[in-house]
Amino acid sequence: MSSDTTLPWSDLKMSARIVAAAFKRFARNGFAAATIREIAADAGVSAALVIHHFGSKDGLRRECNRRVVDFLRDKGRPDASAAERLDAVFVQYGSYATRAVAEDSEESRELFDVLLGMARAVVAEGAESGSLRGSSDPDAQAMALLVLGLTPFAFSAHLTRWADAGLDAAMARLAVPIAEIYTRGLVTDSGLLDAAMGVRGER
Amino acid sequence: MSSDTTLPWSDLKMSARIVAAAFKRFARNGFAAATIREIAADAGVSAALVIHHFGSKDGLRRECNRRVVDFLRDKGRPDASAAERLDAVFVQYGSYATRAVAEDSEESRELFDVLLGMARAVVAEGAESGSLRGSSDPDAQAMALLVLGLTPFAFSAHLTRWADAGLDAAMARLAVPIAEIYTRGLVTDSGLLDAAMGVRGER
DNA sequence: GTGGTGTCTGAACTCATGTTCAGTAATCTA
DNA sequence: TAGATTACTGAACATGAGTTCAGACACCAC
């Protein structure tokens, strides 16, 4: 059971504070630009302690990734649908996960693959229940669902600047046109789809 | 007139080779992780020459951003529609532009704002011609159009791995379900849209 | 108390990186 | 041709970052 990052700061053990600070810095600045000294300062500890607990900067990232994967596979609520789980990950770890998979392809493949597997489950679920329109390429549909879902987090800085509001409010405003697209489509003729199918040589 | 990166390598001046190498490294590794020595090695020159031409690593990035903006505003084809221009930027500089705006919010705001302005023009164009469905929030629709268009580049490494093919082929495959969504929508009921509108307190 | 284990720190070490600098070759101008 | 400007390089410098290390402090078993 991973500790919830919404718990009061003072209740967290030092190692948990470090992880929480790492999530924030990695999400905001990216792995390469974030420094151990920054993270340590945010957590109120020394840089040496970070190494003591996690071995290295890479070990700290592994711990962060592990927590996201654990959260996604959380056995605590086996009744949750795939869509609910994926959505919960977006809400809880969206900014971090987006940065993590976007930045370092070598070490974040497992994280991405786990997310993609969950997206596949969402597509299968939706096809069965009829809540999602089927695609000619369900596997690609799952990929599209995942990357489109991660999108807002990838540009969160510009989003908040554009909306002149916090991330939540900005995402809420962006959610409207995206929901419109998901519900009614965006283009009015089949030219785009024909072109996309044509490139693949399909009919 | 900015030089085309598709020109033969041997035809490029040294400074153009450096810029081309910088585009590649910045796109692949991000600004922070890319090093001047790597870029110089790719271009076949010394690291000192990079500084000589562009003053600093930041100056090199500014030059890259400038070329993208110039390309977008290219006066060479005033007849091109906003949609065609935006699409051309995605094709030519998608990977770089996505990294640039995702990574450093401070220095890439202008680039993002230029792209967003072009996306607004695309929405206005589509509304006038009737090729795009109107939104209750056209400004947010432009933002959605932009970020959804940039997103696939943010995960290009995973895309190519998933498709087991080059980036072009992977994007072509991903384009099908995205075109399906843009044409027919994805969800079959209005629950998602109602929820998105509800959060904003609209009807 | 005593030894041991785990937590935590400041200082130092090592290495990579952006940058500077002196100097050399090439190119341009008159 | 002569001078000046530009292109270019290798070596060195300064800084920052990840990591190591010896030791201090706290807690626990015996």
CA/C1' separation B16–D6 (Å): 16
| Contact list, A155 vs chain B (CB under 8 Å) | 101-102, 112, 147, 150
pLDDT tens digits, one per residue of B101-121: 988 666 789 999 999 999 999
- The mean pLDDT of chain B is 90
User: Mind listing the pLDDT tens digit for each residue in B122-144?
Assistant: 999 999 999 999 999 999 999 99
pLDDT reported for residue A107: 74
The protein footprint on chain C, as nucleotides within 7 A of a CB, is 7-11, 16-22
Examine the pLDDT at A78 and tell me if it is beyond 60: yes
- Note whether A174 contacts B116, CB cutoff 8 Å: no
Strand C-proximal residues, CB under 7 Å? A 14-15, 44-49, 52-53; B 34-37, 47-48, 51, 56-58
Residue B203 has pLDDT above 50, yes or no: no
Please indicate whether, in this complex, the C-beta atoms of B133 and A186 are within 8 angstroms of each other.
Answer: yes
Q: Stretch A93-106: mean pLDDT, rounded?
A: 88
Q: How far apart are CA A121 and CA B163, in angstroms?
A: 18
Nucleotides on chain D within 7 angstroms of protein Cβ: 7-11, 16-22
pTM across the whole model: 0.90
pLDDT at position B168 is 93
Q: Which of residues 75-114 of B touch A (CB under 8 A)?
A: 98, 101-103, 105, 109, 112
Helices (H) and strands (E) in chain A, counts: 10, 0
Which tops the pLDDT comparison, B1 or B49? B49
Q: How confident is the model at residue A198 (pLDDT cuts 50, 70, 90)?
A: confident
For residues A85 and A76, the answer to whether their CB atoms sit within 8 Å is: no
Residue A200: what pLDDT? 65
Residue B152: which of B95, B93, B77 has the closest Cα? B95
Give the model's pLDDT for residue A1: 40
How far is CA B36 from its chain centroid? 23
E-state strands within chain B: none
Distance CA A172, CA A35 (A): 31
What is the model's pLDDT at position B146?
97
Q: What pLDDT score was predicted for residue A203? A: 45
pLDDT tens digit sequence for A128-162: 999 999 999 999 999 999 999 999 999 999 999 99
The answer to whether A51 CB sits below 7 Å from nucleic acid chain D is yes
CB contact under 8 A, A187 and B182: yes
Closest CA to A190 of B129, B182, B187, B85: B182
Average pLDDT, integer, range A20-31: 95
Q: Range with the lowest mean pLDDT among A107-111, B94-98, B108-112, B191-195?
A: A107-111
Q: Does A167 contact B at CB distance below 8 Å?
A: no
Residue range B153-179: mean pLDDT, rounded:
95
- Give me the mean pLDDT over the B133-161 stretch: 96
Tokens of A111: 């994280």
In angstroms, the CA of A49 and the C1' of C6 are apart by 12
Rounded CA-CA distance A145/A116 in Å is: 9
For chain A, domains (ranges, CATH) are 3-154 (1.10.357.10), 155-203 (no CATH)
